[in-house]
Amino acid sequence: MKKHRTYQKRFFALLLAVLMTVAGLTAAGPGAVTAADSFPADALITVNGKTVERTDGISQVTALFGQPKLVTDSPFGGSAYTFYGSGYQDYLYLETNSNGSIAAYGSVGDNFQTAVVDSGETYRDNYVRSYRVAVDGDDVVYGFVGYTRSASLGPTAYHQAIAADMNRYDTALCRHSVEMFNAVSALYGYDTPVSFDQETYERSLQLAENGSNVYQYSSAVGKTGYVNLFATGGYNFAEYSYINPLYFAQSALNRSIPSDIDKAQFIFYASENRYRYFNGTANPDLYQDQVVPLTEEEEQTIAEMKEMYQRSVDEWNLASSYYQTEPSYTSLPITAGVVDANVLQSSVEYLNLIRYGAGIGPLVLDQTLCDGAQAKATYTMYLSANGISNPTPHYPPKVDGISD
């Protein structure tokens, strides 16, 4: 198993981490701690004997691990990758920057080694780190995600990038978290996977962005049994510690997921000047349309609108044609024509029923304005019929033969 660090080296590593936290230094990478004596200096992580080097590009990684199961955009400017084999063996998580250099790396399972921790070793450390280590109830390591000096953003900027484009980055975070969650579930024998459902997730994300969350919504609509809540709250120390899939995947430990409440709700978001998270699953039927009885006032409003609509239709039908006098616009002299009075009144009544439903006051027909609008419309039709340029229809050009 790994590296027997001396007491002095461990003390120095902890002291250095404390000093960096106090000073606000968030430079990512294994250089922030003392590397294990036995781990190769040029390596980032070894998974089941397959070693990813610091300088490897994604082509070298795929040569070892095969094609990724999932690829999304990363806030670092490159891509995020999830690799694994049969039964979630050889699990590898990577993020790259805009140059294709590895910015983040990690794994879950019982067969990985890094310069920080190995799977299977005992780990106790309550300090806030840029990286994340996952341990079971006996403090035995089963997961790790770390960061390199190629990480082009510190934690604060990384989280700001997510919040600025939630549909791009937060959705990606959830999808990678689903894969890692399922790997942890399989590792500990629960094997009750969660899945990603785009529509369910988007609705839950909308709730979060509006200051609510999935569980609060389920309570409001009487469907608390449709949500499986693991944890929710503020994401503390966001300026020091990166959010990553392992943060959500740890919830798979000691937990079975009901097959009808298995749609992942792994959400990281900004609310009220701080970062928050929601960690749980939901049944998609949570968002099925709810039948809500109308209030007496709403029923009265709808009845009035129906009457107004019928009056509008009756008024329209009184007109024998749209125009009382047809316009003439193909050649000079042009005449504006006259719109039938019943047509005008019907149109106003139709607009007013919409305004009434919205709680807005009614419009009143102004014949002078109507005549002016009809004249302008006829003039515009004349310009079009004669191929005269009219780049700004609100201010059409004047032509000879027309005085006003």
- Per residue in 360-380, pLDDT tens? 999 999 999 999 999 999 999
Domain ranges of the chain: 1-152, 154-291, 296-385
- Angle, in degrees to the nearest 10, between helices 341-357 and 296-317: 170
Residue 242's pLDDT band (cuts 50, 70, 90): very high
**Per-residue confidence at 5, pLDDT binned at 50, 70, 90?**
very low
Q: Is the pLDDT of residue 211 over 90?
A: no
Cβ neighbours of 167 (radius 10 Å)? 9
271 — phi, psi (to 5°)? -155, 130
Asked whether the beta carbons of 244 and 145 are under 8 A apart, the reply is yes
User: Can you tell me the distance from the alpha carbon of 114 to that of 107, in angstroms, rounded to the nearest whole number?
Assistant: 10
Task: Please say if the pLDDT value at position 28 is more than 90.
Answer: no
Q: How far apart are CA 175 and CA 70, in angstroms?
A: 8
pLDDT of residue 290: 65
Residues 351 and 345: beta-carbon distance below 8 Å: no
Q: Distance (Å, rounded) from C-alpha 364 to C-alpha 266?
A: 53
DSSP state of 391: S
* DSSP annotation string for 8-62: HHHHHHHHHHHHHHHHT----SGGGSPPPTTS-TTEEEEETTEEEETT--HHHHH
DSSP for 213-273, please give it.
-HHHHHHHTT-GGGEEEEEEEE-TTTTTS---HHHHHGGGTT----TTS-EE--EEEEETT
Q: The whole model's pTM is what?
A: 0.67
**Mean of the per-residue pLDDT values of the chain:** 89
